[in-house]
């Protein structure tokens, strides 16, 4: 017997319904903010990710599924969504049409990492990307769209962690200060942090292994190295968040895991079982479009892990009744009427009703058992007498009432009465 690949998940039944509910709600909300969906390939040329995420990032160094095709081209299953959207934006020359482009994506990503609850090697990610303008008001509007999604899904106990890592001048000065500070402490840091010291010392602050060490707690703070322009930008951004009543905490250790971020970075966390779980993260990237061969345009975006979001909503009991349910089950009392029942079923389906029938059994008890299992609102009973008189019996499963309806009047009857039985 075959088993699914480690780190993957099957969706079926109620889990599929949860995915559909979240998908629809998220898309409905983000489209209210003027975003358009872009559906992209799950494979890209490997350089798309090495050039965007940075060769020193954990995603590129440890987590990508990379392979050669028959043409000896290096391809990668996408580990995140931003790089592919930037590639599309440039290849399609979307920057020539409008001064501001707002996209969202929804689909599978792939990372080779240790599977755990809410985290898989193939996972579904929702994200947004905005290109074309640098404005703290735009940044706040992007952040608020994520906040609006949480509210629409009924998730209340959330907090926003936000930080600025400054412009490139500020980051350069800060990186030098971190190198000087951490140099005598390298022996106390994990192997990954020793590598980050040489390539991107800001990433040391984001280390999960050393997060509670004294070395990290006493490290220099970015706020002491910000340019006046970066300070003003961040001040205005926080004031706008206050105006919109978005609860937040300034976390000066937050840098995010990808090398392309500048200025504002942020994460949304949700409270569950007394601790916070990161559900959404993003930030601004000033040079990413240019570094990938395009014009000098800023960008900002974020992404959700959908499995983690579903897990959170399940724990908080935010999903309503998800039991399988059909509108109608048709019970046929003999072999001859089953053929006609199939026609009736498909006529009703064409009107938008969810209809099921038993394709083999002629025993009424077994067929009624099916209607109970499917939690049908109504049962339609069709036998010889009904066929002769062009009628059908309609039974209300909840109160047991039963009445005969002319088949030609059935659509009208259901349109007027089905809602009463739900």
pLDDT in tens, 379-404: 999 999 998 999 999 998 778 889 99
Per the listing, tokens 């066929």 go with: 387
Residue 255 lies in a domain: yes
- Closest of 175, 204, 142, 153 to residue 314, by C-alpha: 153
Q: Which helix (H) or strand (E) holds 43?
A: strand 43-45
Dihedral sign computed on CA atoms, order 117, 29, 132, 97: positive
Same domain, 298 and 333: no
In angstroms, rounded to a whole number, what is the distance separating the alpha carbons of residues 330 and 346?
11
What's the first-to-final CA gap in the chain, in angstroms? 41
User: Does the structure show a pLDDT above 80 at 260?
Assistant: no
Same domain, 22 and 108: yes
Name the burial class of residue 413, with classes exposed (0-12), middle (13-18) and buried (19+) by CB atoms within 10 angstroms of its CB. middle
Residue 292 lies in a domain: yes
Same domain, 291 and 334: no
Q: Which one of 253, 285, 315 terminates a domain?
A: 315
In angstroms, rounded to a whole number, what is the distance separating the alpha carbons of residues 186 and 165?
22
Same domain, 263 and 163: yes
Same domain, 311 and 332: no
Same domain, 125 and 263: yes
User: Does the structure show a pLDDT above 60 at 422?
Assistant: no
- Closest of 179, 261, 266 to residue 220, by C-alpha: 179
Same domain, 347 and 305: no
Residue-level pLDDT at 211 = 67
The domain containing residue 126 runs over which residues?
A: 14-167+227-315
Q: Which one of 315, 338, 365 terminates a domain?
A: 315
Same domain, 249 and 395: no
Residue 180 lies in a domain: no
Residue 46 lies in a domain: yes
Alpha helix positions (H), 121-220 = 136-152, 168-182, 191-199, 214-217
For residue 340, what is the domain's CATH number?
A: 3.40.50.800
For residue 266, what is the domain's CATH number?
A: 3.30.930.10
Contact 27, 37 (CB under 8 A): yes
Lowest mean pLDDT among 2-6, 46-50, 59-63, 247-251: 59-63
Q: Which one of 270, 292, 315 terminates a domain?
A: 315
Same domain, 100 and 124: yes
User: What SS3 class is residue 404?
Assistant: strand
In angstroms, rounded to a whole number, what is the distance separating the alpha carbons of residues 44 and 167?
29
Residue 200 lies in a domain: no
Same domain, 259 and 368: no
User: Does the structure show a pLDDT above 90 at 300?
Assistant: yes
In angstroms, rounded to a whole number, what is the distance separating the alpha carbons of residues 166 and 205?
15
Whole-structure pTM value: 0.86
Residue-level pLDDT at 123 = 95
Same domain, 100 and 231: yes
Residue 405 lies in a domain: yes
Name the burial class of residue 405, with classes exposed (0-12), middle (13-18) and buried (19+) by CB atoms within 10 angstroms of its CB. middle
E strands in 88-240 = 101-110, 122-131, 158-164
Residue 196 lies in a domain: no
User: pLDDT by residue (tens digit) across 56-84?
Assistant: 566 666 689 999 999 999 999 999 999 99
Residue 323 lies in a domain: no
* Opening angle at CA 193, ends 188 and 196, nearest 5: 145
User: Does the structure show a pLDDT above 90 at 358?
Assistant: no
Task: Give the total number of structural domains in the chain.
Answer: 2
Per the listing, tokens 């905005």 go with: 130
Alpha helix positions (H), 259-363 = 288-291, 306-315, 335-350
Beta bridge partners of 268: 160, 280
Same domain, 334 and 414: yes
User: pLDDT by residue (tens digit) across 120-137?
Assistant: 999 999 999 999 999 999
């Amino acid at each position: 017997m075959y088993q699914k690949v480690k780190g993957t998940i099957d969706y079926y039944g109620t889990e599929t319904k949860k995915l559909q509910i979240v998908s629809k709600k998220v898309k409905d909300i983000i489209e209210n903010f003027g975003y358009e969906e872009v559906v992209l390939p799950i494979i890209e040329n490997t350089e798309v990710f090495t050039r965007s995420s940075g060769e020193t990032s954990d995603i590129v160094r440890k987590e990508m599924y990379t392979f050669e095709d028959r043409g000896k081209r290096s391809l990668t299953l996408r580990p995140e969504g931003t790089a592919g959207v930037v590639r599309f934006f440039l290849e399609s020359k979307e920057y020539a049409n409008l001064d501001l482009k707002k996209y969202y994506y929804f689909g599978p990503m792939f990372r080779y990492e240790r599977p755990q609850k809410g985290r898989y090697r193939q996972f579904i990610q929702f994200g947004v990307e905005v290109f074309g303008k640098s404005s703290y008001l735009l940044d706040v509007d992007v952040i608020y769209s994520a906040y609006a999604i949480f509210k629409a899904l009924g998730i209340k106990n959330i907090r926003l962690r936000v930080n600025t890592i400054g412009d490139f001048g500020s980051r350069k000065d800060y990186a030098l200060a971190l190198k000087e500070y951490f140099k005598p402490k390298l022996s106390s840091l994990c192997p990954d942090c020793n590598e980050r010291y040489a390539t991107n010392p800001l990433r040391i602050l984001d280390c999960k292994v050393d997060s509670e060490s004294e070395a990290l707690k006493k490290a220099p703070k970015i706020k002491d190295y910000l340019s006046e322009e970066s300070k003003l930008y961040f001040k205005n951004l926080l004031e706008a968040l206050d105006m919109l009543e978005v609860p937040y905490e300034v976390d000066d250790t937050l840098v995010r895991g990808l090398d392309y971020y500048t200025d504002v970075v942020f994460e949304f966390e949700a409270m569950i079982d007394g601790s916070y779980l990161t559900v959404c993260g993003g930030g601004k990237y000033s040079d990413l479009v240019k570094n990938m061969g395009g014009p000098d345009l800023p960008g900002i975006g974020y992404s959700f892990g959908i499995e983690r979001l579903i897990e959170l909503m399940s724990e908080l009991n935010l999903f309503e009744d998800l039991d399988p349910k059909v509108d109608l089950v048709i019970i046929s009392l003999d072999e001859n009427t089953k053929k006609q029942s199939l026609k009736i079923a498909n006529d009703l389906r064409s009107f938008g009703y969810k209809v099921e029938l038993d394709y083999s059994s002629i025993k009424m008890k077994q067929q009624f058992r099916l209607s109970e299992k499917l939690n049908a609102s109504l049962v339609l009973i069709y036998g010889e007498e009904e066929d002769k008189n062009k009628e059908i019996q309609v039974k209300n499963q909840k109160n047991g009432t039963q009445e005969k309806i002319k088949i030609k009047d059935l659509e009208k009857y259901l349109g007027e009465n089905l809602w009463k039985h739900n």
